[in-house]
Amino acid sequence: MDANEPGLGTNRPASERLEPPDSFVAQANVADPAVYAAFEENWPGAWERAGDLLEWDRPHERVLGAEDGFRWFQGGRLNACYNCVDRHLADRKNQVALAWEGRNGESRTYTYLELYHEVNEFAAALRELGVEEGDVVTMYMPMIPELPVAMLSCARIGAVHSVVYAGFAADALATRMNAADSAYLLTCDGYYRRGDAVLLKNKADTAAVTVDGDVTSVVVDRLDGYDCSLGADEHDYDELVCAHARERVDPVRRRASDDLFIIYTSGTTGTPKKVTHTTGGYLSYVAWTARAVLDIRPEDTYWCSADVGWITGHSYIVYGPLALGTTTVMYEGAPDHPEKTRIWEIIERNAVDIFYTAPTAIRAFMKWGAEYPADYDLSSLRLLGTVGEPINPRAWEWYHEHVGRGECPVVDTWWQTETGGILVSTLPAVSDMKPGTAGPPLPGISVSVVDDRGGIEAREGGYLVVDRPWPGMPQELCEGRRWANRGDDRSPADPTAWTYPTEDGAFVDKDGYVTILGRVDDVINVSGHRFGTMEIESAIVDVEGVAEAAVVSGDHDVHGKAIYAYVSPEDGHERQDALREGIVAAVKESIGPIARPEAIVFTPEMPKTRSGKIMRRLLADIANGEDLGDLSALRNPEVVGEIESTVEER
Ligand code: WT7
């Protein structure tokens, strides 16, 4: 595979290597390189170490059962909420579990004891509303503490949560509620984004119209002085919690393989892809990786700046850190509102030990300037992490130097919604860092890079596949039927004859380090958020006056990738301004403002192959100003020059 193909980019890493500092190694959770061999020699048995981080109501019989699909910690029983809350009460009930930073310097903390109370009270309320074990509760919530509280409350009673990112449109919420057959919704009146109120409940109401069946809602009051009237089956969060004050709900014993939550992500089809994570396997996996890779200890203050609405927030704001009994910070606002000092202020004030963010944020910090972090005392930081997209060496180095004082190791963690937790990263106290390269697969994880036919093709770059099951794998892979495995339909019962195609391009260097090149499917990663080109295209072609649309990804300095929409108007609809507005509005309505195209390029015709297929790869090359090479496969090569000049004029 050519690394210049669309979606792959040319983000070659620097050759420089950095050793982890001795001071870090001396105190790290996992510092012995023998951990890799331990997993190789005893696989899957070594995964006991992850399971041992949790408290089980009944121990497992087998680490990995594989008769009827994969069953991690088969026979084991546990409750995720108990593991994240109750079991820490004995040692640290007065330690802060959740340190919430609001948008205007407002803040709220929950100790483990306070979290325990509120989770029990809300769990009792959910029961009263009729929520039973296995029911799906949708949460359409901004970054406020009630969201993790509600997630844990569901886990306590064995209900399955489905969090829908608050930036998604009403349509997207309705689609997800219908797909999950969810009759319960937690939302709030609204929230503030850069000082403006976003009326979330209005969006939820719009969604409710197209949701099949009746919905019981719980509404959190977040906006000051905004009175949102509640309908028949709508309940006020505070009233419910007060009505159940000091009630206790026994944590339900769940099978290790029972669903903990579902989360939807973008795939290559127009509809969202459902990902279901398990109670025992997932929780063990996020606890293990939070400990081994993020080096989290109970006495730490740890901050991951993601949104809880995405998998990063589920795994590394809520479940992983709380399973380890640490203090996890949750920040409601934007990094530059009201000032570009917010991030550094929060780190200083909370004496944050570990900071985990995305390359897009780091590139924005870089643009704002090193004087911002320099003004703050960041000496509490011990480890830095990044996730979501490839990090270019320049951004890596800036982060290491200006945020980490050149002393904190940086872990570049590769994973996906589907993987539940980190699969590829250096262990910060064990391996050298190479800026721009995620690192080797974690102990117990095996990946390879293959060509189109599944042959091994490590050096030149190819498709990254995971070729061994791991505890954080979702139900869809455990059962091995809903997502087709590459190639034939070998039985999932045989772990050696199994691969999970990640849809990322990658190459592996001589030291076994994996460099991620980016998506190879029709998914665009903008600022670490996934969008399917099909979903965006189908919103655009529904606009009156649009004949055809093709969405591709272009490179972007700060966001990594950007959405480029090429549109050919119907005859009589050449008024581009009106059409442009219509397209922006349609994308906002069906997906959300976050999927707004960076560029909308009009063209009388799409470049097509002789068989009539739109040449998307060519459109991506045009977006990136690449050399287009041979156009002889095109039926209409004459349109290419025209499109190129339109793109250049932008
Ligand atoms: C896609 C998954 C993992 C949680 C956030 C995103 C890209 C993720 C890295 C990294 C290069 C990365 C991949 C992957 N990605 N981490 N460290 N280096 N690329 O989860 O929305 O499921 O997206 O994000 O392309 O496939 P997601």
- What three-state secondary structure class fits 22? helix
Q: In whole angstroms, give the CA distance from residue 187 to residue 275.
A: 21
Ligand 1 site-directed mutation target among 415, 508, 522, most atoms within 8 Å of CB: 415
Query: How close is the Cα of 242 to the center of ligand 1, in Å?
Result: 40
- pLDDT confidence of residue 574: 72
Q: Whose CA is nearest to atom 27 of ligand 1?
A: 416
In whole angstroms, what is the distance from residue 313 CA to residue 142 CA?
Answer: 12
Residue listed under structure tokens 């262990």: 427
Q: Which atom of ligand 1 is nearest to the CA of 306?
A: 5
Question: SS3 for 399?
Answer: helix
Contact between residue 515 and residue 506 where contact means Cβ atoms under 8 Å apart: yes
- pLDDT (0 to 100) of residue 6: 34
Position 169 scores a pLDDT of 96
Taking the centre of ligand 1 as the mean of its atom positions, its distance from the CA of residue 43, in whole angstroms, is 26
Residue nearest to atom 12 of ligand 1 (CA): 389
Q: Which has the closest alpha carbon to 364: 215, 223, 562, 558?
A: 558
Position 2 scores a pLDDT of 38
Q: State if residue 472 touches ligand 1 by the CB under 6 angstroms criterion.
A: no
For the purposes of burial, counting CB atoms within 10 Å of the CB of 611, is it exposed (0-12), middle (13-18) or buried (19 or more)?
exposed
Q: How many whole angstroms from 641 Cα to the centroid of ligand 1?
A: 34
**Residue bearing the CA closest to ligand 1, atom 7:** 389
Give the closest residue (by CA) to ligand 1 atom 24: 388
- Ligand 1 center from residue 366 Cα (angstroms): 21
Q: Is the CB of 413 under 6 A from ligand 1?
A: yes
Nearest alpha carbon to residue 317 among 303, 334, 296, 335: 303
Output DSSP code: residue 132.
-
Per-residue pLDDT at 447:
95
Count of CB atoms within 10 A of residue 271's CB? 15
Tell me the average confidence (pLDDT) per consecutive run of 10 residues in the chain, 650 residues long.
36 74 97 97 96 98 90 98 98 98 90 98 98 98 98 98 97 97 97 89 94 96 84 95 98 98 91 95 98 98 98 98 98 92 97 97 96 98 97 96 97 98 98 96 95 63 92 90 47 65 92 93 91 94 94 93 95 85 96 94 92 90 89 89 83
Q: Is 311 in the pocket of ligand 1 (CB under 6 A)?
A: yes
Residues 172 and 535: their CA atoms lie apart, in Å, by: 10
Ligand 1: distance of its center to the CA of 528 in Å?
6
Report the pLDDT value the prediction gives residue 8, as an integer from 0 to 100.
Answer: 33
Residue 319 alpha carbon to ligand 1 centre in Å? 19
Cβ(81)–Cβ(153) below 8 Å = yes
**Is 429's C-beta closer than 6 angstroms to any atom of ligand 1?**
no
Ligand 1 centroid – CA 387 distance (Å): 6
d(CA 212, CA 136): 14
Distances (CA, A) of 461 to 12, 190, 503, 528: 11, 46, 13, 22
Give the number of the atom of ligand 1 that is nearest the alpha carbon of residue 311. Answer: 4
Query: Rounded to the nearest whole angstrom, what is the distance from the C-alpha of residue 466 to the centroid of ligand 1?
Result: 14
C-alpha span between 470 and 473 (Å, rounded): 6
Q: How many residues does the chain have?
A: 650
Nearest CA to ligand 1 atom 20: 416
- Report the predicted TM-score, pTM, of the whole model to 2 decimal places: 0.94
Task: Say if ligand 1 is within 6 A of residue 222 CB.
Answer: no
Number of helices (H), then strands (E), in the chain: 22, 29
Q: Residue 189 Cα, ligand 1 centroid: separation in angstroms?
A: 31
pLDDT for 224 equals 82
Give the residue whose CA is nearest to atom 5 of ligand 1.
388
Q: 307 in ligand 1 pocket by Cβ < 6 Å?
A: no
333 CA → ligand 1 middle, Å: 23
The pLDDT value recorded for residue 15 is 63
Q: Report the separation in Å between the CA atom of 133 and the middle of ligand 1, taken as the mean of its atom positions.
A: 32
Q: 541: burial class by Cβ within 10 Å (0-12, 13-18, 19+)?
A: middle
Please classify residue 460 by burial: count the beta carbons closer than 10 Å to its beta carbon, then call 0-12 exposed, 13-18 middle and 19+ buried: exposed
* Ligand 1 pocket, mutate which of 447, 516, 522, 553 (most atoms under 8 A from CB): 516
Pairing mode, if any, of strands 184-188 and 216-220?
parallel
Regarding the beta carbon of 390 and ligand 1, being less than 6 Å apart is answered yes
What is the reported pLDDT for 493?
Answer: 52
**Ligand 1 centre distance from Cα of residue 573 (Å):** 39
Does the beta carbon of 438 lie inside 6 Å of ligand 1? yes
Cα 123 to averaged position of ligand 1 atoms, centre (Å): 33
Ligand 1 centroid–CA 324 distance in Å is 24
Distance of CA 286 to the CA centre of its chain: 13
Q: Is the CB of 416 under 6 A from ligand 1?
A: yes
